[in-house]
Amino acid sequence: MAKRRWSSALTTMRTPSAILMASLWALSTLAPAQQHTKPWVALDYRDPLTVQAGSAIYADECAVCHGRSLEGQSNWRRRDSHGYLPAPPHDETGHTWHHSDQVLFEMVKYGPKVVAGEDYKTRMPAYWGILSDPEILVVLSFIKSSWPERIIKMHDEQANRSQ
Ligand code: HEC
């Protein structure tokens, strides 16, 4: 069973860093926290290969809405006439860094409804079935790597400790 999951995780990988992602995946499944309902999550934003792989996934999957330079869409704080929010920036001007690694992972995997409730209207896709867990961690690691040191520090000391 574990073996099948391993090989299907590998075949969904599209970047040269498959081994790296596989090890991230292995870590996330082997960690003791796996017994709990929430997976163990931590972003490897200092690792150049992870960041490079994440940048490629970001360009393919996220840039169309969140912007090539993580700048988001214009007027991202204002809902449009259909009641939807535009995509927020992922740089320091947005609020991505206000959320812990765990919450970010869940928002990307299951969509913002996971925090905002089932009825929430959003254009942010849930990436479950599109990106593997390691790919989600890798793309979020890339986003975190782009933040200035002082924002990374606040993210580690405030968002990640309060979860
Ligand atoms: C079709 C457009 C679209 C795509 C593609 C998209 N997003 Fe989003 N994303 C949004 C919108 C819109 C929101 C705002 C959520 C809301 O409606 O409140 C959002 C919100 C988020 C948030 C929460 C940010 C916060 O400050 O609360 C994260 C994290 C996120 N997106 C990550 C990603 C990642 C990573 C990808 C690529 C794997 C991605 N998104 C692809 C539209 C998109």
Ligand 1 in reach of 62 Cβ (< 6 A):
yes
Integer Cα distance of 142 and 28 in angstroms: 18
Q: How far is the CA of 4 from the centre of ligand 1 (A)?
A: 30
Give the pLDDT score at 56: 98
Q: Which fold has domain 45-159?
A: Cytochrome Bc1 Complex; Chain D, domain 2 (1.10.760)
Q: Tell me the whole-structure pTM to 2 decimals.
A: 0.81
Q: How far is the CA of 17 from the centre of ligand 1 (A)?
A: 24
Ligand 1 in reach of 144 Cβ (< 6 A):
no
Q: Where are the domains of the chain?
A: 45-159
Whether pLDDT at 54 is above 50: yes
Percent of the chain whose pLDDT exceeds 70: 75
Percent of the chain whose pLDDT exceeds 90: 69
Residue of 54, 57, 92, 53 lying closest to 72 (CA atoms): 92
The per-residue pLDDT for range 85-112, each reduced to its tens digit, is 999 999 999 999 999 999 999 999 999 9
Q: How far is the CA of 54 from the centre of ligand 1 (A)?
A: 15
